[in-house]
Structure 1
Amino acid sequence: MTYTTRMEPWRVIGLLSGTSMDGVDVAAAEFRLRGHEIEMLPLGYRSLPYPEALHRELVSLTRSEKSDASVWCHLEAETSRIFAEAALRGVEELAAGRADLVGSLGQTVCHTTVRGRTTGTLQLGGPSRVAEATGLPVLSDPRGRDVAAGGQGAPLAPVLDLLWLGGATPPPDDALSRGAVLALNLGGIANITVVDEREPVAYDTGPGNALIDAAAELVGAESGRDTDGALAARGQVRPDLLAALLADDYFRTPPPKSTDKERFGARYLRDALTGLPPVPEHDLLATVTEFTVRTVAEACAAHAAGLVVASGGGVANPVLFGGLRRELGRHGARLCTSGRYGIPPEAKEAYLAALLGFLGPHGIAGNVASCTGAAGPRVLGSITPGRWPLRPPTPVEAPVTALRIPEPGAFPAADREGACASSTWR
């Protein structure tokens, strides 16, 4: 892995839309290299919802086996427009009008894995429109290079998790935990990273919020969501349905592995319900929520978890989060959110996109090969030029071993203003 010797901070905008396909998350951060350590100073986070019509189109077309090419072109154009708007707002509202680069994970619409090998991954949210709107270079498609190297293109969170939690000093209560430290993301799909310097492990455990959303949509819940777990809280877990949901071979497949909500979505739920006595709507939501709880907790327990640091939209669901605390506690593990370690739970993946944007131009690998299954570490992403000629920093060989989040104000304001006003890419 390599990095530049320049100490000026880079101000990077991070973009992505998760598997819920409900909007674009944008974060801004400043990065500075100090020896073997990256400092990341979070500058702020926003979420820009998709127009309802676009959300419906994305959800319905990704479930359809027949899609006209012109429809996909329309979706790409509309999604790119929202990504460009989100990036521009990130620059103006979060980065005080000055940034060096945009890192984008895009909107994943297809991620196909056959017999443990990812055969393709497709993201919308084209970087050209983002570059045109902001004038900044854009690093996009970080998954593609990992897939080309024989990896699954997911999860990419380990590069953040390992640098961030591997060297973090835990608060006093967490320091008492015995066992492994795990990072958990509760998005549409849940994934974990086992923070282990010898042989890191990371993979998708199965559904996070995806099946809960599918159940909420099936029963006609408002906005297709079980807001705050209100429906699940009123129901009882149905053992017969839970057993049917748990029967999938995915949960017995060893890592590295990845999946998507097309596997664990509405069709999966309908198949599990086939042949069972009617399931009341509250019981349905209670059961699918418990399904996520069990699969996540069992995956964490398999790695002797002592501390689990959670992020993602599922953290805001008290039934899901409370169930995880119960089950993890039964296995002897503590549960907290990423906010305890300096990253807001809802913003972590957007900061991951920003970090990947920073790593690529500096020649630092963005994948962890033992987690994705790639042939080795790879510098990820493709660069779309901005308004000025590309002048990436000159990389030099040196290891990067930690990411530290300094206290607010750790970067002097004058230093930040000057460095970002004269972009390293101009």
Structure 2
Amino acid sequence: MRIIGLMSGTSHDAIDAAACDLWAEGDDLVLRPRGMISVPYAPSLRARLIAALPPRETTMQEVCRLDADIGRAFAEVAVQARSELCDGAADLVVSHGQTMFHDVRDGAVHGTLQLGQPAWIAEATGSTVVADLRSRDVAAGGQGAPLVSLVDALWLAGRDAAVVNLGGIANATLLRPGADPVAFDTGPANALIDAAVAEATGGERRYDEDGRLAAGGTVDDALLAMLLAEPYYALPAPKTTGKELFHADYLADRLSGRVRPRLEDLVATLTALTARTVADAVRGRELVVVSGGGTRNPALMGMLRAQLPGASVATSDDLGLPSAAKEALAFAVLGALTVHGLPGTLPSCTGARRASVLGAILPGQTTPPRILEAAPARLRVLPSA
């Protein structure tokens, strides 16, 4: 089965499309990556998207228009990926969409909203599309995140390991032989760093490129201690968070009444916050595998390794799964499980009452081939095609 996975993460800067071939060999699900493209949002669309995010207010008219416009943007990227990565044909497209709101109240998730109307993707590609992957887990009492935990558990089955994604928000899947996996959002990865850089530069820069600002700064220990007092970090798993909590206004509120550090020191402190909260979440595992945009920040990776002296810290690239494409490929796997009627969640990771078949299916012009008769026991990743 040839699949395209589509997503845009909590940094909402681009639409990622990762393609793969997927097939079964015994109890193994075998994945061969076919490459990835990342297409930045048009500046006007990204500006509208940001303007609609909490804590700002928006209108139903704008939500409707964003749903259609993001859907068309995803469809264009899917068509490009089909041409460039899939020899012009894909059996299945799996779209995570763009998360706009994750409704967390008193530790429970009451709803989740991803925009990017999948009908545009189905119409543009002719492929079967799986979308809206989080809602079913939420309806079953789960957090709706981190959904990639099932893929992590299949990929590193039998290992004493933690799998971490450093996007806007950081999430971790904790694995130990003989124990049920556990997964949760650890807190901000790049979200607060990006907010600080964008605010200080008037939006001219959106992130700390190559970690240069953090590398040129000094951690403010008092500010770090105050940020670490955030109640979210002490909550038990399963738990999830997002930019509903960790956004620019959150940072401004924490800095209010303090002598504002110079930008380099603030970014160094926020980078240390990410490293510390991630390390606290995964401490004690022999292997820590990191993916996502944060892997391209040497300052962050250096701080994380310093916090975990007893662990082997690797990127998912080191284990054969392209870091930048990992989440899109994980959603491709979840979509394949969906079209086979197989669950895509682990209740121990999301807190749901039971495992659920995820998402909604929009039929294409052809039916995806059937490759699975039962849930796989492992995910095996081969070198890229």
CA distance in 2, matches of 1:59, 1:138: 26
Which residue does 2:170 correspond to in 1? Answer: 190
Q: Which residue of 2 aligns with 1:214?
A: 195
Partner of 1:327: 307
SS at match of 1:29: strand
Q: Structure 1 residue 103 and structure 2 residue 84: aligned? A: no
- Which residue is equivalent to 1:225? 207
In structure 1, how many angstroms separate the alpha carbons of the residues matched to 2:382 and 2:207?
36
Which 5+ residue runs of structure 2 have no aligned equivalent? none
Give the match's secondary structure for 2:12.
coil
Q: Aligned with 1:215: secondary structure? A: helix
- The question of whether the paired residues in 2 share the 8 Å contact of 1:361 and 1:392 is answered with no
Pair 1:344-2:322 in alignment: yes
Q: 1:134 to 1:279 in 2, by over 3 A?
A: same
Pairing 1:404–2:385 present: no
TM-score (norm 1): 0.87
Q: How much has 1:222 moved relative to structure 2?
A: 3.1
Task: Identify the residue that residue 62 of structure 1 maps to in structure 2.
Answer: 53
> What SS does the corresponding residue of 1:63 show, helix, strand or coil?
coil
1:279 match: 261
Distance in 1 between residues matched to 2:287 and 2:57, nearest whole Å: 44
Alpha carbons of 1:366 and 1:268: their partners in 2 closer, same or farther (altered >3 Å)? same
Distance 2:158 2:92 in 1: 26
* Contact 1:360/1:380 (<8 A) preserved: yes
Query: What is the root-mean-square deviation of aligned Cα atoms in Å?
Result: 1.6
| Offset, 1:66 | 2.3
Secondary structure, aligned partner of 2:58: coil
CA–CA separation in structure 2 for the residues paired with 1:278 and 1:400: 52
1:372 to 344, 350, 361: 350
Q: Secondary structure at the match of 1:225?
A: coil
One-letter amino acid of the structure 1 residue matched with residue 53 of structure 2: T
Say which one has the larger Rg.
1
Contact conserved, 2:20 with 2:329, CA < 8 A, in 1? yes
User: Take 1:404 and 1:12, find their aligned partners in 2: how far apart are those partners?
Assistant: 16
* 1:248 aligned partner: 230
Range with bigger deviation, 347-356 or 217-226? 217-226
The structure 1 residue matched to 2:365, chosen from 387, 402, 407, is: 387
Deviation at 1:230, TM superposition (A): 1.4
Determine the C-alpha separation between the residues in 2 that align with 1:379 and 1:69.
29
1:238 aligns with 2:229: no
**1:173 aligned partner:** none
Identify which of 40, 47, 53 aligns with 2:38. 47
1:302-313 alignment to 2 at 5 Å? 304-313=284-293
**1:363 and 1:395 in contact (8 A); partners too:** no
| 3-state SS, counterpart of residue 265 of structure 2 | helix
Q: Determine the C-alpha separation between the residues in 1 that align with 2:266 and 2:335.
A: 41
Shift of 1:262: 2.2
Counterpart contact for 1:233–1:286, Cα < 8 Å: yes
The DSSP-based 3-state class of the residue aligned with 2:147 is coil
2:296 pairs with one of 302, 309, 316: 316
What TM-score results when the alignment is normalised by the length of structure 2? 0.96
Secondary structure of 2:333's partner?
Answer: helix
Identical positions, percent: 47
